[in-house]
Structure 1
């Protein structure tokens, strides 16, 4: 059961299927996962195979994609994905996880980054919780302001195109944190293995917040 739909709720839970972008998938030994056309072809193949539409997955997945990008080679190789991704067409609506307000936002527009990024702040079980939505449309940013409140499931943004979302096939990067540390409009979404212990209590598994 889809507990809290964070993209267009017209995509019912029975249209979701898991996708493997890990370094263990032999497909990526022969194909470039960072090439959008190649990835879209793979995605369509999987949609037909599963007879479903919304690909999802990726929490703590070690991905081949990041080993091909200089952005993630700053010292220790960062290749472990710390959110969940949901692949759907550009323009698909994105919805608030739960009641909250805008904590911060930014257009992280360098290649391979989040592109437009929105972070909401929530009161959850007596504590602060933060939800991050990355790879959004630039046009949504004109409607954002720090402190602006949203209700659960309210539309907060739309998925961006590759030209504005950091250079990826359209998808939502969704992540949940217990602390923003000193970040604003951004938060690490890909870690090196050596960083996992440092962020273990800060970046939570997002799956229970979406799927029951």
Structure 2
């Protein structure tokens, strides 16, 4: 499987590098990843160190970020990130992972949520597969309609600003599911460790689909 462009095709596969936002990175012991200026400074430093531009990572990454937010403290602590994040500037184009139609969309606009979110439905290996694109621009939503078809690599949206994307440094949250479980325009993207088994086979590792 070849590399798939989810972010602006001006950034080739060789321009991607992994970034660590996990609890195992000592930098986040004393720095708040949710503080956008701090994160942007850290990201800029890592881009220079790697001589690459698009930072990515996060599937099943345990993050201190969520331990500091009341949003993720509903009973059990939810701190395991279930998608992959790709950081690029606000306004960067976002592209469909494969041929599909719009399943649903919503503006999950409370702080710490996805902001504008688009979910596509795909036919993949004789089964249904769903791709979620979060932290998008509000201006994209006027062009979305359930059932609209997109081709692989076709632009579907642009990245939103912190004021519209849930309050994060601009990035794409990308996630793959085999069953929407009744959700529309939304799907859990951060789980408690005890819930991981319940979602085994439902939320897939997106890395092989992107990087081949």
Provide the TM-score with structure 1 as the length reference. Answer: 0.99
Q: How many angstroms does 1:182 deviate by?
A: 1.1
| Contact 1:102/1:121, CA 8 A, preserved across alignment | yes
Judge conservation of contact 2:161–2:169 (CA < 8 Å) in 1.
yes
Report the Cα offset of residue 9 of structure 1.
1.0
Residue 136 of structure 2 corresponds to: 136
Gap regions ≥5 residues in structure 2:
none
Q: Which residue of 1 aligns with 2:62?
A: 62
> Residue in 2 aligned with 1:182?
182
* Secondary structure of 1:209's aligned partner: helix
Q: How many residues align?
A: 212
Q: Which residue of 2 aligns with 1:150?
A: 150
Q: For structure 1, which runs of at least 5 residues remain unmatched after alignment?
A: none
- 1:108 and 1:136 mapped to 2: Cα distance? 10
CA contact (8 A) 1:34 1:68 kept: no
Deviation of 1:34 (Å): 0.8
- Give the root-mean-square deviation of aligned CA atoms: 0.8
> Which stretches of structure 1, 4 residues or more, deviate above 3 A after TM superposition?
none
Q: Is the 8 A contact 2:90 2:158 kept in 1?
A: yes
1: CA distance, partners of 2:165 / 2:75: 25
Counterparts of 1:162-177 in structure 2, within 5 Å, are 162-177=162-177
- 1:25-53 deviations in whole A, cap 9, x for unaligned? 10011111110011001101101111110
Q: Deviations over 1:40-97 (max 9, x none)?
A: 0110110111111000000000011111111001110000000000000000000001
User: CA shift at 1:4, angstroms?
Assistant: 1.1
Q: Look up the match of 1:123.
A: 123
Structure 2 Cα separation of the partners of residues 62 and 153 of structure 1: 30
Q: CA deviation at 1:2?
A: 5.5
Q: In the alignment, is the contact (CA less than 8 A) between 2:115 and 2:164 conserved in 1? A: yes
For the 8 Å contact 2:94–2:159, the answer to whether it is kept is: yes
Taking structure 2 as the reference length, the TM-score comes to 0.99
Alignment partner, residue 87 of structure 2: 87
Any conservation in 2 of the 1:161–1:169 contact (CA below 8 Å)? yes
